[in-house]
Amino acid sequence: MDFEHQLMLARSEEEVFSIILAVSDEIGFPYCSYCIEMPIPFFKRNIIQYDNFPHPAQTPQLTRRGRSRTNSADSQSAKPKQFRRSAYSDRALMTPAVADATGLRIAWTRVIYSRNGTFGVLSLAKDAGRRGVSVSGRKCLTLDRLFLSTHTKFASILLKKFLPESMTKLSARELEVIRWASEGKTSIEIAVIIGVSVPTVNFHIKNIIEKMYCVNRAHAIAKAIALGFLS
C-alpha cells in the first residue's frame, strides 16, 4: 500500500478521502468516516465530515440475530455509496452516530489533536451482519500510519482553504513579542524584556494583527494559541 506517496500527490480533500476509502476497503472495512474540527471560530467550531455511510432509508432492516431481510434490490441499495461531505457546528456530531441507525458496526476508531489546533476522528465500519474482521498486528499499524498521514494532509488542505491566516509566517521577533503578550506582559514590559523601544513592540503587534486578520491584540493572542504558533 503506497498510500503515503499517493497522499503527497493529492491536491484536494476529496482525493485524500478516496485514498482512505481504498485502504479501508482493502483491509476489510467498506465504510468509513473522517471528521476534522477547525480550531477557529472559537464558538461552535466548524466540523467537516466525509463518509460513505448509507442513508438509514437505504439500509436493510435487521433481524434480532443481526441478519438482514433484503431482496436483490435492497442489497444493491445497501452497498457503500460514493462518499459525501457534510459541515456542522456541533461537537456532538463528531462521532458517526449514523452508523447505529444504518445497521453498521464501528470496528476501528482513532482520534488525534494536532499542534495546529485541528482535531480529527477516523472511524472504519462494516455491516453488522458480517463476520468480524481482525484488526491487529500489521493491519493496525497500517491504519495508524494511514490516520496520521491523512490527518496531516487533510489539515494542510483545509486550513489553507478556510483559515489562510494559519499559513502566516511570523518573524522570530514577532513570535517573541506575541509570546510575551500571551503571558500578560504590556508593551512597556515586553520592550524592557527583549531590549527594544515601546514603539517597536507596538509596530510588531500591529503587523501581527494585520497578518493574522485580527481586530486587536487580544484576538491576535487567541488566534496564535489556537493555531499552535506558540506551542
pLDDT digits 0-9 by tens, 42-77: 887 888 888 888 765 444 443 333 333 434 344 444
Summarize pLDDT for 170-215 with one digit per residue, the tens: 999 999 999 999 999 999 999 999 999 999 999 999 999 999 999 9
How far is it, in rounded angstroms, from Cα 29 to Cα 193? 56
- Which of 63-67, 84-88, 104-108 has the lowest average pLDDT? 63-67
Domains 3-164 and 168-226 share a fold: no
**C-alpha dihedral sign at 160, 116, 108, 7:** positive
- Under CATH, domain 3-164 is a member of which superfamily? Transcription factor LuxR-like, autoinducer-binding domain (3.30.450.80)
Q: Comparing 56 with 216, which gets the higher pLDDT?
A: 216
Class of domain 168-226: mainly alpha
Q: How many CA atoms lie within 13 Å of 231's alpha carbon, on the beta-carbon side?
A: 11
In whole angstroms, what is the distance from residue 50 CA to residue 133 CA? 23
Residue ranges in 163-197 assigned as alpha helix (H): 172-182, 187-194
What is the value of pTM for the model shown?
Answer: 0.75
Domain edges within the chain: 3-164, 168-226
